[in-house]
Structure 1
Amino acid sequence: MLIGSVIIIIAAFVVVSSISGSDADSKSVDQASQLAGEMVSEEVDELNSPGSDELIAAVGTHGGEPEAGFNPISGWGKSSEPLVQSTLFKLDSQASLINDLATNYTVSSDGLKWTVTIRDDVKFHDGVPLTAEDVAFTFNTAAEGSGSLDLSMLESASAIDNYTVEFYLNDPQSTFINKLVALGIVPEHAYSESYGQNPIGSGPYMFVQWDKGQQVIFEANPDYYGQEPYFKKITMLFMASDAAFAAARAGQVDLAEIPASYAYQEVDGMKIVSLDSIDARGISFPLQANTGKKNENGYAIGNNVTSDAAIRKALNIGIDRQVLINGALNGQGKEEFTGVDKLPWGNKEAIFEDGDLEGAKEILTEAGWEDTDGDGILEKNGEKAEFTLLYPSSAMERQALAVSVSEEARKLGINIKVEGKSWNEIDTLVHSTPVVFGYGSLDPTDIYLRYYSKSYDPSNYNNVIMYSNPAVDGYLRAAITSFDQDAANENWQLAAWDGTTGFSEKGDATWLWMATINYVYIMDEDLDIGTPRIQPHGANIFGNILEWKRTEN
């Protein structure tokens, strides 16, 4: 009865969400709440009673339903808690490395061999012991596949004995430790092309059922080697954020990720929790001029407006980020200037004063941009200061940011035309047209792939702006190959700005970073989620699920 009831909830809310849109007014939400309340059985109400050890969560906005299923090799759990699978290491709430399957690791003097020892008391959910063979199989399979985790530096992984695995790299990357955090371990004996549809792991929860487009159900693993979870059953509903809020108002979910526009709503018996994140929103600027050149896929390269550094610098210092946050994000975010401001490898010297309209106009004037025909748009050498800004059409918060940036840019005489498109369409335009992207990782390899000149790859978004700066390349290589964390962080910082050059606004102004977004949730008042992990791109609300419990309130 529970499963059927949950499906009815989803159907009701998806219908309302599809007709109300992301800016649904209170009337739409009230109607949805009433509809859900009429359609859901009393069994779900009992499930949400104080002390219940079962949890229903609506989490379809960020992260959401994985297209390839619950397979780490295909990307499941890359930046979040995979629940079903264990990882070698984890990061705690302070982003410090802690053991999961691993008990220790060492690195050879040349940085090319990593040796990891693992626990000897771990079993997969089917009772088969987990060994180093499974770890090696997982990493080798992921390296050979086309998943979202970059393992191009991994030559091979080998099991030395049942509980020791050696990783051989083709490049001495100190950030390889982050790959050991990101990839859940799968069982070699039970892995196939359909693994993601019915996964077996060794994590705190076992996969029970997946109703595609609707829900997935997990149950606690009775043989888990770690702390016993309080919640014995978790049902995740995949629904849009407006629908999730309506479900929460109807009292049919314990937890829901909701739009920033609802951050100040009051709902009886529930509380709003807003989590800071390192998930930054930024605009990519194609750096080459449009000369008719095309990339390997036949897509146009270059933009005659954004290739002018004056345009990029003027937008960076002229736009008031707090205005964007207050308007587009309903105050649920923080200013962002380099894409990694909050992280240890962020360079505070690269941060600048924004909202400086006069300074921005001066930059444009000195570069030869003038409004010669009085239409409010600057020109230079017959080229209008205008371009299209793309955002993924399913991301309403990115649309709101794009529109706000366009409004701010008009004050500078720059005309930005905003368009929403599918990712497939964006792929064909990304090298010639600015795009609102989202990035946020605890792995600094993210910076390397974004700015290192040789990381460009037409099959992905690595160095999508085709940036090339020899000084920055040098800092990035020094950072990624350094096993001294302080030295690595110093080089990451210098890549942003060394006093002369860098990828930040003070240097080449390669991107326009706007804000890190807050993840906003509504949840039962008696739900205690402990100390959440740092929220990366895509959110990691279940990152500390073993701390979660209900209180007596």
Structure 2
Amino acid sequence: MRTLLVIISLFYTLVFVNSASAQPNTLTIALGAEPDSGFDPIYGWGKYNDPLFQSSLIKRGSKLELAPDLALSWTLSKDKLNWDIKLRDGVLFSDGTQLTAEDIKFTFDTAKGAATVHDLTNLSKVIITSNDSLSFELKNPDINFIDNFINLGIVPAHSYNSGYGQMPVGTGPFELVRWDRGQQLIVKVNPYYYGQKPFFEKLLIVFSDEDSRYSRLVAGQLDLAAIAPRYAQALPAGFKLWSIESVDNRGISWPMQNVQTADIGNDVTAQLAIRQAIDKVIDRDVLVDQLLDGHATVAYSIADGLPWGPAEIPIQKPHDKQLTEAIALLEQSGWKLIDSVRQKQGLRASMTLYYLAGDSIREQLALTVAQMVKPLGIEIRPKGDSWENIYKHMHNQPVLFGFGSHSASEVRFVHHSQYRGRDYYNAGYYANAELDAVLDGARHAASWEESLPYWRQAQELIRQDLPWTWLVNLRHLYAANRCLDLGHPGIEPHGHGWPLANNISDWRWTCQ
């Protein structure tokens, strides 16, 4: 397969030469999936990354440090119940109107009142204290509430409506010119942007699947493209591979409840012995080194390597020993091998593993995991499907999800019983009262430093229950024209929202 890709790449390179002479004003890129619901921060656009068309109150730097954006300063009261925000002066929206404190209040009030991915349940009210300052009053102390100042892009109160996501007005570095659904997005520099102006005046953002992106790349139709690991060794001449560290992980969410209704629960995956046996036999080194050609690291939690992640990573024993231990565990738990599939009290150790169709990495992981657990007598049937259909099954069948955030709050969203069945977070209906108390302790800690022991204790409890089997942490791969310098990209979160564009104002064309 790799040899064939190299031949195709060389062929197209001979036919289509990517010129590197004049500096282009327009950059043609393909960074990932088209957002189904448009570019509305209220409904999640930009939650994982800088929202491109909008700005947030605070942003993260390349080292995850906090930096001013629309907010010049932010202060938390001693009782941890009030955040006071001082706004930047003279900021204009892309339509030329001035940003005011009312726009900030409107954005947070609207997001709180809508059913969205932003958790603002702890927000009591937003008070405008002057033309350029606001106070956010909380119901309870919440050291992580500051994440909302980073994750929620600000929208204009004077023009926001139900169609906003199709033609957004914001204060970000770019403004939308045209959106041809399913094909492309045309954007240009926002002339009123208060920050560092981007080098490129226009962007043509192309939407296509992995194979089409690669074909366009080798045909010289793209300057930059996100690529799958299988293409990393077959880049056309004149292109450079950018391998970016990320906290973007892939793992399997297990239904944790016994069957309650036709839609909730799975009597097989609800049994700890099944989850433990599967977790033991997953050879993560094989997934990283052979399946993903080293463009990943092994994963054991949702936050490996982060301050709120596990204090220690489990030591992987030799695979044959892991298999022996897993089989013994199943036998001791009453799961007997009958006609190649284990059974217990009328239950068959059989399930469907859903993954997003068209995503080659998820497909390969699902197929490989199914083969790895087969010697246990556990039957996993991988099934690629749309998110719309996966949503209908994710409470009663396992799903291969992707998560990974710059915020510790994601640990809470994915594991706290409060979020059972809410959006895609706690899809398995996991509930552990002791864990909930620890996560609440982290939220109510007196400071960020004092919250860290709670997060680490939470990771230990989660590891005991195994509501997830984590597989790999990905490296994000991009093929860029050799003349395109992407600066110093930071550690990227999950891929929703095109995280590479977080430092887009630093991109430069280096050839004359």
Equivalent of 1:332, from 292, 295, 298?
295
User: Partners of 1:207 and 1:425 in 2: how far apart?
Assistant: 31
Name 2:472's counterpart in structure 1: 515
User: Partners of 2:426 and 2:36 in 1: how far apart?
Assistant: 25
Aligned ranges 1:20-419 → 2 under 5 Å: 26=5, 49-59=21-31, 61=32, 64-290=33-259, 293-294=260-261, 299-349=262-312, 351-353=314-316, 355=319, 356-371=322-337, 373=338, 375-419=339-383
Letter in 1 for 2:347: E
Q: Is the 8 A contact 2:227 2:478 kept in 1?
A: yes
Name 2:505's counterpart in structure 1: 546
TM-score by length of 1: 0.86
Say if 2:456 is the partner of 1:493: yes
Which segment is superposed worse, 161-170 or 541-550?
A: 161-170
CA-CA distance at 1:94 after TM superposition: 0.9
Q: Is the 8 A contact 1:385 1:413 kept in 2?
A: yes
Letter in 1 for 2:474: I
User: Partners of 2:117 and 2:228 in 1: how far apart?
Assistant: 26
User: Partners of 2:166 and 2:334 in 1: how far apart?
Assistant: 58
User: Partners of 1:193 and 1:513 in 2: how far apart?
Assistant: 38
Say if 2:505 is the partner of 1:536: no
Q: Is the 8 A contact 2:336 2:342 kept in 1?
A: yes
Q: How many residue pairs align between the two structures?
A: 507
CA-CA distance at 1:23 after TM superposition: 11
Q: Is the 8 A contact 1:248 1:523 kept in 2?
A: no
Name 1:4's counterpart in structure 2: none
Letter in 1 for 2:490: R
Give per-residue Cα distances to partners, 1:374-396, cap 9 Å, x unaligned: x3333333433222211122333
Aligned to 1:406, the other structure's residue is in SS state helix
User: Partners of 2:192 and 2:61 in 1: how far apart?
Assistant: 23
User: Partners of 1:278 and 1:247 in 2: how far apart?
Assistant: 28
Q: Is the 8 A contact 2:49 2:499 kept in 1?
A: yes
Provide structure 1 residue ranges, at least 5 long, that are not aligned to the other structure. Answer: 1-21
User: Partners of 2:2 and 2:53 in 1: how far apart?
Assistant: 35
Percent same amino acid at aligned positions? 37
Aligned-CA RMSD value? 2.5
The answer to which structure, 1 or 2, has the higher relative contact order (CA under 8 A, 6+ apart) is: 2
Q: Is the 8 A contact 1:317 1:352 kept in 2?
A: no
Say if 2:471 is the partner of 1:503: no
Aligned ranges 1:421-440 → 2 under 5 Å: 421-440=385-404
User: Partners of 2:437 and 2:272 in 1: how far apart?
Assistant: 22
Give per-residue Cα distances to partners, 1:313-349, cap 9 Å, x unaligned: 1111221012123344343211000121121100133
User: Partners of 1:422 and 1:494 in 2: how far apart?
Assistant: 35
Letter in 1 for 2:500: I
TM-score by length of 2: 0.93
Letter in 2 for 1:199: P
CA-CA distance at 1:213 after TM superposition: 1.6
Letter in 2 for 1:474: A
Give per-residue Cα distances to partners, 1:459-481, cap 9 Å, x unaligned: 52332222222221121001112
User: Partners of 2:433 and 2:94 in 1: how far apart?
Assistant: 50
Aligned to 2:427, the other structure's residue is in SS state coil
Letter in 2 for 1:370: K
CA-CA distance at 1:29 after TM superposition: 5.8
In the superposition, relative to structure 1, how do residues 348 and 183 fare at CA in structure 2: closer, same or farther (>3 Å)?
Answer: same
Letter in 2 for 1:486: E
User: Partners of 1:522 and 1:464 in 2: how far apart?
Assistant: 34
Which segment is superposed worse, 207-216 or 28-37?
A: 28-37
